[in-house]
Structure 1
Amino acid sequence: MPAWDAYKEVARNRGALALELFAVESVPAGGPASVPENLEKHLAYQRELESKGTLVLAGPVSNAAGDMMEGAGLIIYRAASLAEARAIADADPMHASGARTYSLRRWLINEGSLTISVGLSTKTVSLS
């Protein structure tokens, strides 16, 4: 059994969730106009992935100091394998056009919590 699969099994056996997701760090690569030129297609692709249940979370991230945005983004996918996640990332119009490059990592979700509040009469949803 590969080391990654063995680790997942150990996590499950100790009661962890052991949900495998895939994290993409996407950074600008092309000229200054290449990101805006591809933004509409990228956002449409993200909406399509979200509607299929493939896109878990996505959005920009700050620089290492946390005080400004530098154009990097983090995208989390659900996929059956690393190869499938890579194909999803490759098909993103930002990556396919060369406007952005990315690194891909497996992410094993073991612990944590999310709170979702749904207001029935107000038709509101909040996530914290």
Structure 2
Amino acid sequence: MPWFVKIERGIIHKAAFDQHVPAHVAYVKDLIAQGHQARTGYWAERGGGMLLFQAASLAEAEAIVAADPLIQNGCVEYELHEWCIVVE
């Protein structure tokens, strides 16, 4: 399956953002359980992060991102890219 990366930047105050983090974490754990090999984290300097995951197609990747609680609750702006592995 292809890999995709959602690069995101927070657009709301941290206190409001943090209210949605538990739902986001649960969502990523569910993606892992479904076999998407998802990983998520934030930049050390804060203010943004990324979600790396596998999906069968760009359409599926877009649906996965759209269902993320951080997206559904307007917490982040994002870019979605297919990521091509060069070396494993």
What's the TM-score bracket when you normalise by the shorter of the two chains? 0.7 to 0.9
The one-letter code matched in structure 2 to 1:44 is: A
Q: Secondary structure at the match of 1:106?
A: strand
Cα distance per residue 1:2-46 (max 9 Å; x no partner): xxxxxxxxxxxxxxxxx6210110210123322111011111111
Equivalents in 2 of 1:93, 1:60: separation in Å?
16
Task: State whether residues 46 and 55 of structure 1, in contact with CA within 8 Å, keep that contact through their aligned partners in structure 2.
Answer: no
Paired position in structure 1 for 2:79: 103
User: What's the TM-score once normalised by structure 1's chain length?
Assistant: 0.62
| CA displacement at 1:104 relative to structure 2 | 0.3
Paired position in structure 2 for 1:36: 18
Aligned-pair Cα RMSD in Å: 1.5
Structure 1: tracts of 5 or more residues without a match:
1-18, 63-68, 113-128
Structure 2: tracts of 5 or more residues without a match:
none
May I ask how many residue pairs the two structures share in their alignment?
88
Equivalents in 2 of 1:101, 1:24: separation in Å?
10
Q: Does 1:61 align with 2:25?
A: no
The one-letter code matched in structure 2 to 1:48 is: D
Equivalents in 2 of 1:71, 1:91: separation in Å?
21
Equivalents in 2 of 1:83, 1:31: separation in Å?
30
| CA displacement at 1:71 relative to structure 2 | 2.4
Larger Cα-atom Rg: 1
Structure having greater relative contact order (Cα 8 Å, sep ≥ 6)? 2
| CA displacement at 1:52 relative to structure 2 | 1.0
User: What's the TM-score once normalised by structure 2's chain length?
Assistant: 0.87
Identity in percent: 31
Q: Does 1:48 align with 2:24?
A: no
The one-letter code matched in structure 1 to 2:3 is: L
